[in-house]
A and B are shown apart, each in its own frame.
Chain A
Amino acid sequence: MPLLRLALASLANRRSTVLLTVFAIGLSVCLLLTVERTRHEVRASFASTVSGTDLIVGARSGAVNLLLYSVFRIGNATNNIRWESYQHFAEHPRVKWAIPLSLGDSHRGFRVLGTSEAYFEHFRHGRQQALQLAEGRPFGSEPFEVVLGAEVASSLGYRLDQEIVLAHGVARVSLTHHDDKPFRIVGILKRTGTPVDRTLHVPLQGIEALHVDWRNGMPARGAGRVSAEQARQLDLQPRQITAFLVGLHSRVSTFALQREINQYGGEPLLAILPGVALQELWSLMGVAEQALFVVSLFVVLIGLVGMLTAILSSLNERRREMAILRSVGARPWHIAGLLVMEAGALTLAGILLGLALLYLGLFLAQPPLQSHFGLYLPLTPPGVYEWGLLGAIFATALLMGALPAWRAYRQSLADGLSIRL
């Protein structure tokens, strides 16, 4: 390929401009791939947060709101639901299992979830994966036991049998601590890549015991206080929970039960299908996500336009080069082909650089992303879609290369063999 050799030698001759151009394209390609990969991983991890649950039930509000606080631990419930309502549906003949959820406390920025043993038995994430313990055991009948999500344990450096104090409310800095009733760590869960990792799980009785001596949202003072030991003796049957997850014997009855819950006479309840609510939530986030994609596409376009500028502005000073080539027999289309190849070579180098930067970035950013955002970006080779994107970038570059190619074609026809500058 003599033409390709010529194109590469000519590029090597203009090293500094070429390197900058390749760098600009490389950065833009890296940005696009990073956005794409993050987008897809977020979407995937999003969809895998909850699975196997047929209905989520909470106080009547919005479907997205209910999904956010019950599954993603984002935001707060507007209202609690009564224990009787939970029991009513937990014992419903169509219901196979129900997991009560009680939220509202936190520990150093991580949410605390009050639940029952059913959580460890029935909760599923990803592709029907059950929760697994990395060490220890699930909490038992003792109210002051806690099972940590993987991220809670690793970022706070907690070990089994340590005692921790929960805080009232969900603010990162809480003024009210339940320091009279510490919890003992009895288990640590394996990593799931879902909000479970960032949650502390305690028995419902524990939540109840924490608040047993509270009146009007304030802890009792002096004689009114109940110690942990006293609390153990009390009846810790919860009176309220925040929400519950429901699994059915047969998915066919999902809609029937949903209607039944929504029309429940005891109190206003809302039952949602997790899949539908996830879709609804994703369509809200989809706009931002697509905007990000469009922006990164434009950045790539800017990178390519930069290349076009570099090639076009080099044309004038390369008229002699073109004339020499013409005098040794290059036809005008050879000259045009040379410039298209140049654009192709620059873009190819840019794409390779972009891939290298992407994998370097993934390699470096993987651990912090996972620990801070629970986002796992795998170091996998580019998929069909990503190759497609890269191919489209390359094709666009060749198309753009046609512009300087056409200019050079015209120029070399006009200049002929000799040009005196």
Chain B
Amino acid sequence: MTTDPLLDIVQLGFAWPGQPELLHIPVFQLSRGESLFLQGPSGSGKTTLLGLLGGVQLPGRGQVRLLGQDLASLGSAARDRFRVDHTGYVFQQFNLLPFLSVAENVALPCRFSGLRQRRAHERHGSVAAAIERLLGDLGLPAELRQQPASSLSIGQQQRVAAARALIGQPELVIADEPTSALDADSREAFLRLLFAECQAAGSSLLFVSHDQSLAPLFDRALSLADLNRAAPRTGV
């Protein structure tokens, strides 16, 4: 087993054009299989950090390395491919394309990533079987799978989004406030399902939220404010 971290940030600095530096993260690491709670209020640069981790934005200085690969050294097309091959995303709400069926939504990453399609094949025999298995594990009733995604409740939608993030076993799952639209009971239930599935897929989980109460469920909890050495913004 390699001891290299999955995600490795070194002396990262980022500023939006014409603005003071928003992020300065000297060091940050995420190990393989680890689940990390990253706490940060809105406006703290969370979304920007996620953009940097996904290679959608590039750091002004320093490096973001995923699986040892410096994202900035890849071309934009290669970066897009690298992201979908190795990262699954779950967002706060409205994660799904309403006009596709539940199963089609889950299959989307396999359509854009050959690697994830192959892995789904290797582990479950086919993409369709992988979808069945993931949705089943996440407790989504079978009769909903061919329904349009727009017909689901928010809790169901988030479970479908989790299945989509996990299909094809990406090394990293990034969840950005996925539970904020859920009530307290379903919040914890959703998290336990997410943990179990990440474990089964061998994926690390980076969970970003402002809700401190969830932190104890994770392997490790950090605050973005502690991580970020950039001068705190005033007036927000």
In this complex, what residue of B is CB-closest to A333?
A: B77
Q: Are B99 and A420 in contact (CB under 8 A)?
A: no
Indicate if B81 sits at the interface (CB-CB under 8 A). yes
Q: Are A331 and B77 in contact (CB under 8 A)?
A: yes
* Chain B residues with CB below 8 A from A320, complex form: 94
Q: Are B98 and A13 in contact (CB under 8 A)?
A: yes
- Give the bracket for the number of chain B residues in contact with chain A: 20 to 34
Which residue from B51, B99, B104 sits with its C-beta under 8 Å from A417? B51
| Stretch of B28-36, B59-67, B106-114, B195-203 lying at the A interface | B106-114
Q: Which of B47, B56, B164 has the most CB of A within 10 A?
A: B56
Indicate if B159 sits at the interface (CB-CB under 8 A). no
Q: Are B99 and A9 in contact (CB under 8 A)?
A: yes
In this complex, what residue of A is CB-closest to B96?
A: A324
Q: Are B81 and A329 in contact (CB under 8 A)?
A: yes
* Chain A residues with CB below 8 A from B54, complex form: 327, 416-417
Q: Are A417 and B112 in contact (CB under 8 A)?
A: no
Q: CA A13 – CA B98 in complex, angstroms?
A: 8
- Measured between C-beta atoms, what is the minimum distance from B182 to chain A in Å? 17
* Chain B residues with CB below 8 A from A331, complex form: 77, 80-81, 112
Q: Are B100 and A417 in contact (CB under 8 A)?
A: no
Within 8 A of B (CB), among A312-351: 320-321, 324-334
Q: Are B111 and A417 in contact (CB under 8 A)?
A: no
Q: Are B99 and A328 in contact (CB under 8 A)?
A: no
Interface size on A, residues (CB 8 A): 23
**Contacts A416-B51, A416-B57, A417-B54; A330 near B112 (Cβ below 8 A):** yes
Binding site secondary structure of chain A: helix
Q: CA A331 – CA B79 in complex, angstroms?
A: 9
Q: Are A2 and B111 in contact (CB under 8 A)?
A: yes
In this complex, what residue of B is CB-closest to A328?
A: B108
- Measured between C-beta atoms, what is the minimum distance from B179 to chain A in Å? 16
- Measured between C-beta atoms, what is the minimum distance from A4 to chain B in Å? 12
Indicate if A227 sits at the interface (CB-CB under 8 A). no
Q: Pull 29 A–B residue pairs with CB atoms less than 8 Å apart, ordered by A.
A: A6-B97, A9-B104, A12-B99, A324-B95, A325-B97, A325-B108, A326-B56, A326-B80, A327-B54, A327-B91, A328-B84, A328-B89, A329-B80, A329-B81, A329-B84, A329-B111, A329-B112, A329-B113, A330-B112, A331-B77, A331-B80, A331-B112, A332-B80, A333-B77, A416-B54, A416-B57, A417-B50, A417-B54, A418-B91
